[in-house]
Structures are given as structure tokens and as C-alpha cells.
Chains A and B, each alone.
Chain A
Amino acid sequence: MLEDKLLVLKLKRGDADALRRIYEKYKDDLLTITASLLHEAGAAEDVLHNVFVSFAKDISRFQLLGNLRSHLITRVVNQVREKFRRKMYQVVEVDRTGLSGSNSEGADRAAAVGEESQLLTDALARLPIQQREVIILYLQGGMKFREIANIQDVSINTVWSRYRYGLDELRSFLIGEIIE
């Protein structure tokens, strides 16, 4: 993580290359997490945009106390929540064909991520947001349950329950898809 500390230090001095390096290093992870939370590629890119712009904006006050990746993921989660709170984002319907939103967008996405992945991301989108958050942050964000508990401001037991119930639901969604 020393590299991250150096990058942040350079960034504080206005080094655009450091910003580029941080972006290159974490953009795919963050986009994957955001897209899984929002289930919509365009909105996910908007969140990624906002996260990096606000990160650059706050850099003078920013102190890297722990892990930069976790910090950026937390920013993503806050942005996603903000999007939901402001009702700027809709809970996207998942139809049984596996596509959502406009036909062209759905087709593009299906082609891009493959049918199995599409089923899985659609199933994820059907979970309650809190369960979805836990599953995505744990599996894709690599965060610990305790860190997620801090983000959600609940006990670690609740996080664990959400994770377990979420997986059960996912499993039943996916079985349902296959039977049909």
C-alpha cells in the first residue's frame, strides 16, 4: 500500500499522473461494484465519474488512514445511496428474458457480459439493496464483514444475516430462471 500513499502524496501536490494511475488501478473494480449495485452501465459510469471528481476535489483535506481501495469503494457506496435517495435512479425491472432497460442497451450488455453473467447480475438486482450491498462489497469489493458493518452502521451479525439471506435468495432466483 506504500504505492498508494505515494500516489496520494503526489496527488495532493497536484500531480495529474498520480490521479491517472489511481484511476487506472481501481476503475475496473469500482465500476464492477457500481454496476452490480445499480444494475445499469450508464448510471454506473456516472457514479464512477462523480467518485473521482469528488475525490480530486477533496484531495487537499484527504488523509489516507487505511486502504485507498476501501476508501474509494465507500465513496462509491455513498454515491449509489445518494442516487437512490434522490430518486434519480429507478429500480430496474428484470424481465425473464434476461434483458432490462431499452432493448438495444440490454442486448449490448448481454453480449458484453455473457448470458450466465447476465442472469447473475439480473438476480443480484432483484435483491433488497442492503443485501445486495453486503454481497457485492464482500465478494467484489473484498471488504471484511466488519468494514461493511461500519458502512451500513449495523452489527456484524446483521451483515452476516444479510449475506446469508441474500445468497439464499439469489440461489432461488437462479433456480427459478433455470426451471423456466
Chain B
Amino acid sequence: MKPEDDIEQSIRSLRRTTTAETDERILNDASAVLGEFVQPVVWRMIIKSPITRFIAAAVIIMAVLIGFGIFTGPGEERGGQVVKQPDTSGVKEVIETAEKPEPGSGVRPDAELEQTEQMFAAGDADGLVSMLSEGGRKTRFAAAIYLARIGDLRAAEALEKLSAEAGEDEMNELFVMAASQIRGRLEQERRGAEFAKGSPADRAGAAAPDKAEIEAEAKQIQEMFAAGDVEGLIEILSVGEFAGKVAAAEYLGEIGDERALGELERLNKEYGGWAAREAQHDSSGAFAWAICKILNSGSAEDEQIAAWFDLLEGSGPAVPEGIKERAARYNFDVGRRVAVELDKYDNPSIVSRLRQTENKGAASGAVWMEVREMDTDPAIAYCVEIARTEDGAQRYGAILCLGRLGDDAIDALDELAGEGHGEAIRVLSRYKGNPEVLKLICWHLTDNKNSLVRSMAVEQFYDGELYNQPEVVPALIEAMYDPNKYIRRNAARALSMAAYRRKTPHLEELEEAMLTALKHADKEVREYAAKALEHLGSERIGDEAAEPPAFRSDLEEQSVPPLTVQQKLAAEVGPLEKEAARLLKMGPAEEAVGKYEELLELAPGHQAYIEALEKAQAYEAAAAETMEKWEPDAPYIGVKGRYSYLIGREPEDVNGLGEEFDLALFLVESEGYEKALKLYEHIVEHYPENEYKVIRAAAAIGGLELSLYEDVSACVLRYIDIFAVGTEEVIDSTDERRNRPLAQEGGRTQAQLDFERFCKNDEMRERTIELCSAEASGELYVLLDEIIERCSQTDPKIVGMAEAAKAEIEQRQETEAEGENAIGGRE
């Protein structure tokens, strides 16, 4: 290697690779322990029964599948509907890996499970529904997961019914999740189908009969209420459309007639919407609300308030048996209704209690109660502050509340979206008829760094009304190259709908983009592009198209929700606090002062920081006061201050060397070994290597490393460094007089004499050889070669000792080998 070669580059390019045997050995051993340790400790502790383990595995895998968007995106075309290719991955794995239930637990043979799998593969939702009620537990579990993927409304209802019947059974949560998944998917399909229906007039026509029916029923219910016809309203609870059931429940709650309770409880179990945690077109909390209202109609005010808060906390008689408190606590519609109800009481504690809730529905009401009396600007500012400083439901509630403050809140919502609050886009979309707001949403779709915001933005374009707006199609085309697959696929999907509707002024641009997208790296986008070209009736399929651009690298692929001010502070403060504490302990004090000042800027008035700052300042002041007059009997603060000062020093000359050396010695004597080691290392790293004190420091480091860390090799290497220095090279930079040749000593200097007296002496030689030779395993004796090689010019005496020791060891090894051979021969 030539000296001018780039060492850094050479080190970077050094490569090693394993052999196939090594790979096999490591993977086998690692896989073997994997099986033993794969289940989390907490899991093992909490989930004791085999059945519970089985169900919990199902719930977790369901959450994982949902989280990965397995249910979105196109698969194969069937009957005009886009459906997923049957894929049993994940489900099958969990079914197989989940512990088998105990005998007698009602589980059918594995053949039943296979049959379920075949039904899923064949898309037989009806068969799976029947398995839900007829199969064993394991089969029901599998059927629920499969139905979540392909089930229809009937399956969702069956799952919800089973969930209500399951009561405390662990399968309850699984059924709720599966039903919720189906309903979500159906809603998406419904929106998609609306796109495909054609003109708004067509859609209105298609929806007309249902709407008329519902309106007639609503009118009938109103009349019943006006006439006090409780029995009629109760009958509606049984036979009415869902909207009618809700309306009847609301009227019955107002009337407060206990005869309605039975039917309301049934509906509350079946349609309670207990899995809905966020705002949707959901009014299923009406039944729980009506029950609570009826049961408390004659109670005192404080009892009524307590009952509403109980419901909000997921307890009390209005929460059906079998619904877990946790699920109940997050029910959006219940929370919304409870907040409205509590708003009727003149009790100042209500708002503050609601402002603590984790229920998003109630939180938005709570924030509204706080701001509704304010002028618009301060109200907006207050909501923005909550969104930035608070977390979870309250943040969500504040953003929703901005939507109630009118057009004036648009800028604030835009700003919050810019900061990564996806919910702000959902609220902004209420104004998307406004071209300026539409432009903002398009901007967030293509340029917001946060993937959560962009994904919320792309969802706003499922509404076919917008495709004729000039900004929309170009933005969606750009979004097809988003780094996040959910966004690019949904953008492609929306474009395929736009192509179907032919409602864009950019048809040529769309056709061109879709031709290019046929070469897209994402298979699902390619499928949507093909569909779009088909919808456009394009005759250019097969034409040469431009190469698609690369995915955007300037946008985040997977973002997290923005941190609150407190979280940001914690993230910033954590490392800074650690560094400041380290500097306070190990110096330099002046840097510790700086760090604590920074911390106090972030957290003004923080008592612990103030105290630490005062301590660091005291060290710094003590360091200044004791400058040039440090003495071993100085008060501790002076020693510490001086230490801090010296350790932080970047020496330009050797002026500080003597003091550093003396202080290190003092620290050793005071048993401050770690600080002494640090100071000695500072000396060795910063001063000339032939300097007498540096050599002494190296010897001290060796001794400290041996005693503190039992690091024999490090110690010996330090000692070898000393013997590798020629006596004639040694100088004392701190005292020129010690470098003058002494006639009576043959021209040697005092520094050189001291070096031989205190460092390169027989005791040190023997100690070094002893350390090399006496290692129990004999492994360190190779350091004898290091001595022989490095010290041949500077210390022939130790070289001779090393050679003798080496010869002795080799002789011993030979003798031992011969002995073993002799034993082997006899055997």
C-alpha cells in the first residue's frame, strides 16, 4: 500500500464473508432458540389459558392485517367488483402456531378448519357465516378472520350478533373487530360504487326509493312522538329501518318511558357501534344514550351527571354486558351524545372533567364548550394551542372544533395540516367546494412531508364531484409516485374512477399518465392504470410510453403524528440532560454551565436544572479561583473545578501538563480512579510522547486499567510503550532545568535519570514479563514478541528477559506436548 493511499477508503472497502457452514450453524442455533423465546414475557404471564392465547393471537393478527392494509387495493375482477385474491397468509400461520385448545373444548378436527379455508378460497361467505355458528372455536376464529376479508353486510350482522352473545368470552373482541372491518370495507366499496354510477342525477335516482322510505318513516315517527305513542315508537325499534330505530330511541329517551328499555337494550347490544372510535356517519350511540336517559329521568342532578360520566367511562347499566369497558370508553357517538347531555347542566366542573376524557366524541364537545363564548380569533388560537400541546382525544377534539368556527379557521387548519395533523385535512375537506381550499388539499396531497396528512388528503378525492376541478387530476397523477404505497394506490384508484367518469378537463394528460403508469413499479398501480385506460376507451394501449418517474424521495414514507410541545421538549431535553449531567460529573464545568443554560431555556424555572447550574457555576468559579495555586489540600470544590477546567483544555503548549499530572496523582491518592484515568488519558493524548510526565501517565493508565478493569493486555501494552522509548529521547517540558546534561551522570539529564529510576527499572521489567507469562491460559505470552520487536533498540535488558521467558514457555509447551503424546501412545 502506498502511503498516500486513502486509508479511510481502504478500511471501508475491507470485506469479510461467512462460509456456508458458518451460516448454517448460526442460523440453526438461532432458529432453535427462537422457538423457545418467541412469545413475549408479558404474553406468557397474562395469557394463561390455551383458549385465551388462541383468541388473543387472532385479535393481534387481525390488527396486524388491518394495519398493513391487506384489505385495500385491487385483486382480480369478479362480477364488476374488485375483490382480493384469497390469501390465507398470516391467518393460517396464526391458526397453526396458536396453541391447540384442550381436549373437550369443543374444537372440531382439523378437517373442519381445512373446509373453512376452502370456503375462503372459493369466496363462500355464506359458508363461512354458517361456520361462525356451527364450527368449533378454532373454526369460528378462522371464519371470523376470513370473513373480515370477504364478508358482506349479513356476515357483519352475524358477527355483531355473536359478539353480543359472546358476553365475557374472549372471542367477543375478535368478532367486533371483524364486523367493524367488514363495515369499513363495505363503506369504501359503496363510495367506489357511487363513483361508478355515473352522473349525480343517476345517483340521486338510484338512491330515491330508500330515501323516500326513510323520510316517510321519519315523518311517521315524528307524528308518534307528537301523539305520545310510546308503543308505536317501541314497535319502530323492532321493525323500523336503522335510521328509524335511532330516531325512535331518541324520542323514547326524551319521553323517558321504561317500557322501551327491553328493546333498547337489545338494540344497544346489536348495533351499539362499540368499535367506532372516530367520527363517522354513525348514530349507534343513541340506544345507550336513551337507556341512560330513561333510567335517570327522575334522579337528582348530581346523580344524573354521575350516570353520564359513568357511561362515558364505559361503565353503568347503559353499557351492555360483554362489552369491555375499554371499548365502551372510546365509543365516539356515545361520547358526542353524553357531552351534549352534560352541556345542559350548569356545573362548572363538567367542562374540566370532559377536557380530561379519552373519548374523541366527548372531547370535541368539551373544547367547543370552552371556546363558543369567545371571539373567533381567540377561539381559533385556543384550539390550535390545544392541538399543539395536548395529545390524543383532546387534540382531535380541538381540530374538529375548528370546523365549527367557520371559514376563518381555514388558515389554522392549513397550518395544522402542515405540521402533520392529518385530521385537519378531514375538517378542511368540508370546504372543498371552495376552490382555494381544494388547492390547499391538493398541495397537501403532493407536498406535505407527513404521510398521514397525504393519506388523509388522497381520501378526500373519492368524491367524484371534484374530478372536473383543474387541480385534482394533476395532483393525483403526482401522488401515484408517492413513497407510501397506500397513497399511490389510492391516487391510482381515484384516477381510474376519474377515467370512468370522464369528468376531468385533463383527459389527454390522464391517458398519457396512465400509459406511463403501466410501467409503474407497483403492481397495484399498474392494475389501476390498465383499468383507467380501459375506462377511457384508450386505443393507445401497447404504444411506447415514457418511463415512469422514481418514487418521491423528498416525502416521508411512514410518518408519525406530530409530537406535542411536551413530547418535543422531552425528546430534546432527554439527551441534553444526559450530556449536562455527564459534564457536571466529569467536566469541563464551563461546558456543563452551557448545557444547563440551554436546558433552562427549554424548561424555564426547572428547579433541578437551576440547582445543577449553580453547582456547575460553582465549579467553574472555583476553577478560576484556584488557577495557578491548586494544591493537594485545596477544598474539594476547588479540585473538582480545576479538574473540570483541565480536562476541557485543548493545550497549545505544555503549561498545563504539570498541574494535570499533579492533580491526577492527587485523584489516585483520593481514590478518584476514574477521574484520574481520564486525566491521565488526557495527558497521553495531548502532550509529546517522549515527555517524562506523559510516560509516567502511561504507566499509571496501565496500572489503573489493570486494577479497574482487570485488563492485562492493555496494561502490558502501556508498559511496552514505555520500554520502547529510548532514554536519550526523554525530556521534561515543564522544567527546562531537568533537561540539562549532568556531568557526573555521564551527560544524562535529570529527566532521563528519573525515567530510568521510576519507569524503566528492573521492577517494572519483571512485572511486565510476569504479566505476559503468568496469564493462566498462556495467551498473552505473544506480547513477549511485541517486546522483542519494539524494544530491541531501546531496552536490550527487557528484550533478553522476554526471550528467556519465551524460550521457557516454549520449552514448557513442548514438554507438555510430549507428555500428552506419550499418554496418547500408551492409550
Q: Please list the residues of chain A having a beta carbon within 8 angstroms of any beta carbon in chain B.
A: 2, 9, 11-14, 16, 19-20, 23, 27-28, 31-32, 35-36, 41, 44-45, 48-49, 52-53, 55-61, 84-85, 87, 89-93, 95-96, 113, 116-117, 119-121, 124, 128-129, 135-136, 139-140, 155, 161, 165, 167, 170-171, 174-175, 177-178
Contact = CB atoms under 8 A, between A and B. Distances in A.
Contacts of B779: 87, 89-90
A119 B27 CA distance: 32
B711 interface: yes
B822 interface: no
Interface string B761-791: 0000000000000010101101101100100
Interface stretch (B35-43, B165-173, B403-411, B467-475): B35-43
20 contacts: A12-B40, A23-B23, A27-B17, A44-B16, A45-B26, A49-B25, A53-B29, A53-B33, A57-B33, A61-B41, A85-B710, A90-B779, A90-B780, A91-B783, A95-B785, A113-B16, A124-B11, A139-B11, A174-B7, A178-B2
Most buried by B among A45, A85, A121, A165: A45
A57 B661 CA distance: 47
Given A28-B15, A116-B10, A178-B3, A13 B782 contact: no
Interface residue SS majority, chain B? helix
B97 A14 contact: yes
B93 interface: yes
Nearest to A162: B685
Contacts of A117: 10, 14
A155 B3 CA distance: 31
Given A87-B777, A119-B1, A171 B7 contact: yes
B15 A32 contact: yes
A28 B16 contact: yes
A175 B3 contact: yes
Most buried by B among A87, A92, A167, A171: A87
B31 interface: yes
A35 B710 CA distance: 23
A72 B93 CA distance: 27
A23 B34 CA distance: 13
A178 B3 CA distance: 8
A24 to B, nearest CB: 8
Nearest to B64: A9
B26 A87 contact: no
Nearest to A15: B93
Given A19-B30, A95-B785, A116 B717 contact: no
B714 A129 contact: yes
Given A9-B64, A20-B27, A165 B34 contact: no
A32 B16 contact: yes
A167 B17 CA distance: 25
A59 B93 contact: no
Contacts, number: 156
Contact of A60 (B3, B12, B38): B38
Nearest to A149: B579
B7 A27 contact: no
Nearest to A22: B30
Give the 3 A-B CB pairs with smallest separation, nearest first: A90-B779, A14-B38, A93-B782
A9 to B, nearest CB: 7
B501 to A, nearest CB: 34
B306 to A, nearest CB: 40
Contacts of A20: 27
A31 B2 CA distance: 26
Contacts of A59: 34, 37-38
A175 B1 CA distance: 9
A161 B685 contact: yes
A148 to B, nearest CB: 15
Contacts of A2: 557-558
Contact of B18 (A27, A121, A128, A140): A27
B780 A91 contact: yes
B101 to A, nearest CB: 19
A116 B1 contact: yes
Interface residue SS majority, chain A? helix
Contacts of B785: 93, 95
B376 interface: no
Contact of B7 (A89, A92, A167): A167
Contacts of A44: 16
Interface in B700-723: 709-714, 717
Given A19-B34, A60-B39, 5 more contacts: A32-B15, A53-B26, A60-B43, A135-B11, A175-B3
A14 B12 CA distance: 34
Contacts of B11: 36, 120, 124, 135-136, 139-140
A110 B779 CA distance: 22
B434 interface: no
Nearest to A28: B17
Nearest to A86: B710
Nearest to A100: B782
B8 interface: yes
B16 A13 contact: no
B23 A27 contact: yes
B782 A91 contact: yes
Nearest to A176: B3
Contacts of B22: 45, 48-49
Contact of A23 (B8, B26, B582, B712): B26
A74 B709 CA distance: 20
Given A93-B785, A93-B786, A53 B30 contact: yes
A40 B141 CA distance: 53
Contact of B40 (A61, A113, A124, A140): A61
Most buried by A among B3, B15, B30: B30
Contacts of B35: 14
Most buried by B among A35, A41, A57, A121: A57
A129 to B, nearest CB: 7
B31 A92 contact: no
B12 A120 contact: no
Contacts of A93: 782-783, 785-786
A91 B717 contact: yes
Contacts of A16: 27, 31, 34
Contacts of A161: 685
A45 to B, nearest CB: 5
A19 B717 contact: no
B30 A12 contact: no
A93 to B, nearest CB: 4
B821 to A, nearest CB: 19
A41 B12 CA distance: 18
A51 B559 CA distance: 31
Contact of B12 (A12, A28, A87, A140): A140
Contacts of B17: 27-28, 31
A58 B18 CA distance: 23
B93 A13 contact: yes
A31 B97 contact: no
Contacts of A60: 37-41, 43
A140 B8 CA distance: 9
A117 B12 CA distance: 11
A56 B29 CA distance: 9
A50 B709 CA distance: 23
Contacts of A171: 3, 7
A82 B528 CA distance: 55
Interface string B627-644: 000000000000000000
Contacts of A116: 1, 10
A13 B38 contact: yes
Contacts of B37: 56-60
Contacts of A11: 34, 38
Contacts of B12: 139-140
Interface in B288-329: none
